[in-house]
Amino acid sequence: MKIVLQLIFSFVILWPTTLSQNYYVPIQENEVAYEFHYNINDLLSGVVTHRWESKYGDYVRGSYSFLEPNGMIRNVNYEVDGKRGYRAITKFLKPQQSLERLRPVYAPKDFLEVLFSLHNPNYRMISDDMIWDFTYLPLKVKTLPELRHHYRDLATADLLLGLTCCQCLTTLSSGSTSQGEQERITLGEKVLQHQHAPVCQEFLKLGAPRSLRGRLWAQILGSNVKSSEQHYSELKQRVLHYDMLIDKLITKDVQLTACNDDQYFVFEDALNQIMLCFTRDTDVLSVFNNSTSHPILTSLKGKPPMEAIYPPNGIIPFHGFTMYAAPVCYLFNDPVPLYYTFRAFYLRYWFRLHVISSHPQSILGLCILFQRLLQRHETKIWSHFMSHNIHPIRVVFKWLMKGFSGHLLPEQLLNLWDMVIAYDSLEVLPLLAVAILSFRKDNLLQVNTLQNVDSVLVDLSSLNVMSLLQLALKGPIKI
């Protein structure tokens, strides 16, 4: 029998405190605040119950559940306050099944096989044994000189935040900020006062101070919406009132990815909350406006029969989808700006990484850009892979499709995403991928299987993203 019991009881003498995202409860001096919960879930013996309650000032919130004789679980969520009295919502749920048998709908490697299956009817392949690039697809991508011109500020910057790891470690250990970073913070505050996204983008090209990054992203992405709190509350109510099969896939993905990552496991609850809200957000359907793809339609019972989009946001999550949101958790304590910044980032950039499109910054365009950069500027690695039947894109595809999330340390990843927003381009992803292979070239040339190549590249924790990007842009990619 699995029993979890936790009791928290405290006398609180505080100034006004925020209870949750939706409630503001002023706690008077000497008022009691407490919270307790316990959970018993043993289907074999038939004991399935839980109890939870918290009190802050005059406001009480809680829930309880028990197993009905018909096998359903009665779940009651209630709240009590002095003005509105007692209110409760009762739901009948099926006993929760184990998530062990659930599997993601697809993973990055499955999507890569779909890309490999694409064919140009006007192109006849000499051999189907191995396709070394996507040259048979008529997509134009930038050359290295064009990339150097696009990222010229990054290539020529001398004072760039995040450029040296040693400075970061010294700063963190001392608990202070360097003089250069303090000057950037002062300048950044002035930039944010203008509330003008292009100015913030120009500022971000030289890196973001940690204390300002969240506000800069929100300003550039336009996620500062006055009505966001009300809309987010509505999304949470939809999660509470309607269960969907997709919820289990989201929960499973959080468990398989963020919960197994030392850098993100502390955000499990926040990720579950914002990802479940994301599945109910119909504003996400806007990604289909300029796409040839369409969301899935499901039939609804009734007369006359109707069709509805499922899930409501139209997005089927893949294995690792949660990692688009996990790094953003470092920027916000409040789930409302966290959610809307993640959503804005997804709607502007991330959706391109798991749809088939002719856009130059789609996942297909990024794969072509990576392969052409590697073939033209790192010929030794390319020839070595070709001679041992190792497809280069299989080595880095998981990096590209997840925007390197889960592969780089959070601070390095956020520095990389700064560049994505600042230059309004995902092309920095394949550029970094080639730079990493160049950096590990000596080791890569000594292995001759895909498995061993992955072993060489499994640990990227020692890499400094800004240094690699600068070295790749300043001259030939010979790192």
A 10 A CB-CB count for 240 gives 12
Question: Which pLDDT score is estimated for 74?
Answer: 84
Give the H/E segment covering residue 453: helix 450-457
What span, in angstroms and rounded, lies between the C-alpha atoms of 62 and 50?
11
Confidence band (pLDDT; 50, 70, 90) for 162? low
In terms of Cα–Cα distance, which of 214, 202, 210 is closest to 185? 210
Average pLDDT of span 62-71: 79
pTM above threshold 0.85: no
Residues 220, 223, 225, 229, Cα dihedral to 10°: -150
CA atoms within 13 A on the CB side of 420: 22
- The tens digit of pLDDT for each residue in 260-310 reads 899 999 999 999 999 999 999 999 999 888 777 788 888 777 677 788 888
- What Rg, from alpha-carbon coordinates, does the chain have? 25
Task: Judge residue 340's burial from the number of C-beta atoms within 10 Å of its C-beta, 0-12 exposed, 13-18 middle, 19 or more buried.
Answer: buried
Please tell me what DSSP assigns to residue 58.
T
Confidence band (pLDDT; 50, 70, 90) for 137? confident
Average pLDDT of span 87-115: 80
Across the chain, what does the average pLDDT equal?
A: 82
Confidence band (pLDDT; 50, 70, 90) for 54? confident
Residues of the chain with pLDDT > 90, as a percent, come to 47
Helix (H, G, I), strand (E, B) or coil at 222: coil
First to last CA, the chain: 57
Chain centroid to CA 57: 36
Confidence band (pLDDT; 50, 70, 90) for 178? low
Q: Do 111 and 354 form a contact (C-beta atoms < 8 A)? A: yes
Question: Which pLDDT score is estimated for 30?
Answer: 60
In terms of Cα–Cα distance, which of 252, 309, 319 is closest to 281? 309
The packing angle between helices 213-221 and 197-204, to 10°, is 130
Confidence band (pLDDT; 50, 70, 90) for 223? confident
In terms of Cα–Cα distance, which of 439, 438, 416 is closest to 428? 416
Beta bridge mates, 67: 73
Chain centroid to CA 87: 36
For residue 459, pLDDT over 50 is answered with yes
For residue 179, pLDDT over 90 is answered with no
Q: Which residues of 87-97 are buried (b: 16+ CB within 10 A; e: fewer)?
A: eeeeeeeeeee
What span, in angstroms and rounded, lies between the C-alpha atoms of 432 and 434?
5
What span, in angstroms and rounded, lies between the C-alpha atoms of 468 and 422?
17
Q: Dig out the tokens for 108 from the structure.
A: 């990055």
- The tens digit of pLDDT for each residue in 331-376 reads 999 999 999 999 999 999 999 999 988 888 999 999 999 999 999 9
